[in-house]
Amino acid sequence: METIKLHHLHPFLLSNEAEVIHIDQIRGLVLDQSVAYAESGGQLGDQGKISFKNGNTNKELPFHDTQKGEGRLLLLKDFPAIPVQTPTYHQLSPEHLSKFYVGQKVKVQVDFQRRLLLTISHSGIHLVLMGLEAKYPGLYSAIRGCSIKPEGARLDFSTDQKFTDEDVCFVQDFVQNQILLNKQMFVYQHAAEPEAWFWQMDDYIIPCGGCHLTETGYIGTVSVKKKSLGRSMQRISFTFKDYQIPEFYEI
């Protein structure tokens, strides 16, 4: 059982027609294809609504989370071991879930504002990591946690390197400068696996299949912070404001 994940090839598409292919009373509704992003890589799953025809009326029910099910584990030398060909579970309340049946034609639509904020938050944390790595090369391999929420994002590193106020200023200036330059950000597929994606800005490339902006300028103004989580665990987080809404989203 697999859901075709439309956000990879159509990152700014916000709705699609689909068919219900499975219903799990705990995990939710599985569709044959969906624009909704299932939580992974630290980025929260999408919320939104699923609509269908009920006689002559159109019924619309909310889903409050999107999660990945089990799939094939990707084993490539140059890419992290991620599950691919997974079903995407759209989580609805039990009462709402009972309105669906396998084979039903539906329309899924993600919450635009939340997806936009997650996309900005996600793109911004890439710039934060780039800034940190400009000062501490190789820090990518020390990442132990990543959390990307609508209000901001954070990275936790297993490192004895305690970040200083100067580090925070350096990263903040680095990120703000990239935003000012309105740099282009790219994604591209792994040659051997269509679900394995890379993110690139300048000559900086990392594996990532999340939701990204196309240019840095949309991010706006950022505020970078640090926190020590003990002797060998350090956190860097950021929030943003004054962001711009890209004009190419398709409702």
- The kind and range of the H/E element at 4 are strand 4-5
* Site residues (vs Zn ion, CB under 5 A): 199, 208, 210
Residue 90 or 126 with smaller CB distance to Zn ion: 126
Cβ-closest position to Zn ion = 208
Alpha helices in the chain (DSSP H): 6-9, 94-97, 112-135, 165-180
Selection from 29, 224, 213 nearest residue 118 by Cα: 213
Residue 63 or 218 with smaller CB distance to Zn ion: 218
Give the nearest distance from C-beta 11 to Zn ion in angstroms: 11
- Mutual angle of helices 165-180 and 112-135, in 10-degree steps: 120
127-164 as b/e: b if 16+ CB within 10 A:
bbbbbbbeeeeebbebeeebbbbbebbbbbbebeeebe
Q: What angle do CA 175, 179, 182 make, to 5 degrees?
A: 145
Residue 91 or 119 with smaller CB distance to Zn ion: 119
How many Å apart are CA 47 and CA 44, to the nearest integer? 9
Give the nearest distance from C-beta 116 to Zn ion in angstroms: 15
Give the nearest distance from C-beta 119 to Zn ion in angstroms: 10
Give the nearest distance from C-beta 125 to Zn ion in angstroms: 8
Residue 208 or 222 with smaller CB distance to Zn ion: 208
Give the nearest distance from C-beta 15 to Zn ion in angstroms: 23
How many Å apart are CA 36 and CA 7, to the nearest integer? 7
Residue 106 or 130 with smaller CB distance to Zn ion: 130
